[in-house]
Homo-oligomer: A and B are copies of this chain.
Amino acid sequence: MMLINGHPHDSVSALDRGLSYGDGLFETVRFVADKAPLWARHMQRMLAGCERLRIPAPDPRQLWQEALQVSGDFEQSVVRITLTRGVGERGYAPPAMARTTRIVAAFAMPAISSALYSDGIRMHRCQTMLADQPLLAGIKHLNRLEQVLARAEWSDSSIGEGMVCDQHGNAICATAANLFAVIDGVPVTPAVDRCGVAGVARAAVLEALGDCRVRDLPLCDCLRASELFLSSSIRGILPVQAVGDTVYAPGPVTRAMQQRWRNLGFPTEQA
């Protein structure tokens, strides 16, 4: 089910700036029945994105009601919230008074093999490198061609994600998840102030870890990590089993974060 500006509908104007220029933001929120444990973090990021792009902020209570309404048919669901700057004249100039378009759509939670949680996920090393753009880094905007290109690099279904670097050789993220490494006993996650997305699951892990370093993470450091795991608001905590030919085993930090994830109220991650 889908609501557009609060009304059941499944299409948007072909002149919407979200389509014309990717001028908008989105969130994908995991619901377990009528609970969304990371909701507050999703709203925080969306509002930060609105401020950055100067898009009028939505009312989080209204979004919550709409998300509940669309997800009601599912036991577990993914709710995608898309907010665009709305219909505009032709041309890049944002309208002085934008009337945003709000799309709230629910999808069945995808089935994820429990082996991915116990044994880990295999990653492709992506050739696609993320550009440095501090103006857009961190927020979850609609300009996602880099992720599309990175994800298009493999079709082998035994590979679950891709390791994406910036143009300086730093590991940044997976195509649709954030990255954590344990190096010399210390947890590390890449900074996302020049590229990448500041994931809401990443924020939850950072809070849980307490002592995690947020810094540039050269891929070579990553490849000698004792543990590597991914965080995703939809898929949770995924141990990394391999990046290309480099092999890892799930370790204690990864297992602790999986436990923490279950404690948040996400049921399926049976590591």
Residue ID in chain B nearest A16 by CB atoms: B19
Q: Which A35-58 residues have C-beta < 8 A from chain B?
A: 53-54
Would B142 and A22 count as touching, CB distance under 8 A? Answer: yes
Pick from B4, B94, B148: contact of A94, CB under 8 Å: B148
- Known contacts: A133-B131, A136-B145. The answer to whether A93 contacts B14 by CB under 8 A is no
Chain A: interface residue total (CB-CB under 8 A): 57
Would B132 and A23 count as touching, CB distance under 8 A? Answer: no
Q: How many copies does the complex hold?
A: 2
Pick from B2, B14, B22, B84: contact of A105, CB under 8 Å: B14
Q: Which residues of B contact A141 (CB under 8 A)?
A: 145
Q: Is A226 an interface residue (CB 8 A)?
A: no
Q: Is A61 an interface residue (CB 8 A)?
A: no
- Known contacts: A21-B144, A105-B15. The answer to whether A91 contacts B176 by CB under 8 A is yes
Q: Is A74 an interface residue (CB 8 A)?
A: no
0 or 1 for each of A20-33: is its CB under 8 Å from B? (1 = yes): 11110010100000
Q: Which residues of B contact A18 (CB under 8 A)?
A: 19
Q: Is A78 an interface residue (CB 8 A)?
A: yes
Pick from B16, B78, B93, B176: contact of A152, CB under 8 Å: B93
Q: Which A89-137 residues have C-beta < 8 A from chain B?
A: 90-94, 96, 103, 105, 107, 128, 131-133, 135-136
Q: Which residues of B contact A23 (CB under 8 A)?
A: 144-145, 148
Q: Which of A5-13, A181-189, A213-221 contacts B (4 or more CB under 8 A)?
A: A5-13
Would A90 and B143 count as touching, CB distance under 8 A? Answer: no
Q: Which residues of B contact A107 (CB under 8 A)?
A: 90
Task: Kindly provide the distance from the CB of A124 to the nearest chain B CB, expressed in whole angstroms.
Answer: 12
CA distance A188 to B22 in the complex (A): 31
Q: Is A149 an interface residue (CB 8 A)?
A: yes
Would A14 and B14 count as touching, CB distance under 8 A? Answer: no
Q: Is A175 an interface residue (CB 8 A)?
A: yes
11 A-B residue pairs with Cβ-Cβ distance under 8 Å, sorted by A, are A10-B14, A11-B13, A12-B14, A14-B82, A15-B105, A17-B148, A19-B19, A21-B143, A93-B151, A132-B132, A133-B146
Q: A19-B19, A54-B152 are in contact. List 19 more A-B contacts (CB 8 A).
A: A4-B14, A12-B19, A14-B82, A14-B103, A20-B144, A21-B143, A21-B144, A21-B148, A22-B145, A53-B149, A85-B148, A90-B107, A91-B151, A92-B148, A93-B151, A93-B152, A128-B135, A141-B145, A142-B145
Closest 4 A-B residue pairs measured CB to CB?
A22-B22, A143-B143, A131-B131, A21-B144
